Copies of this chain bind each other. A is one copy, B any other.
């Protein structure tokens, strides 16, 4: 942040405002406090029979690696709506969102992952513009060495472990936990 987005001044300081507990960018010209907060990444693991749907990323970062369909939550949508949208955009598929399996923090870069498990409607899917490929995997087929993000590895590990024991539950963790 080089300029105040309200008044255009370059007189920005980074300091704890009076009565606040955290340092913020504050404009010395107009007094605007520029809050910066973590972002939500929402996603859903689509399940069809004994398989799960992953997408191979066509965009950076982690281009070419496999991922649970996920992306930044947008203004105006709920977390569940965002998860459904991401599945639509990345896998050209519809899901019935079932339960929240993952609350995963990457504190260093201000990301909060909320990933659900859902039912892949009609077992139908395609390849969205942000994906090179989509594919249903059994547990034995998961390309563990080619998973794009720790959050996805975490969700996949926990999903299969819970499926084996019949549990459906939320797991909380933080980077760099991969759920093993």
* Residue positions of A touching B, CB distance < 8 A: 1-8, 10, 19, 21-22, 34-40, 72-81, 89, 99-100, 103, 105, 107-108, 110, 112, 114, 129, 170, 172, 174
Which residue of B is nearest A114, CB measured? B103
Q: Report Cα–Cα, A37/B35, bound state, in Å.
A: 12
Grouping DSSP codes into helix (H, G, I), strand (E, B) and loop, the A interface class, with mixed when no group exceeds half, is loop
Q: Identify 23 residue pairs between A and B in the complex whose beta-carbon atoms are under 8 Å apart, listed by A's number.
A: A3-B3, A3-B5, A3-B7, A3-B8, A5-B5, A5-B34, A8-B8, A22-B74, A36-B75, A37-B40, A38-B39, A38-B40, A75-B107, A75-B110, A78-B105, A78-B107, A79-B103, A80-B172, A81-B107, A99-B170, A100-B103, A100-B172, A170-B170
Residues of B within 8 A of A110 (CB): 75-76
Given A6-B2, A8-B3, A8-B8; A75-B40 close (CB under 8 Å): no
Bound-state CA distance A21–B3 (Å) is 27
Give the chain B neighbours of A4 by CB distance below 8 A.
3, 5
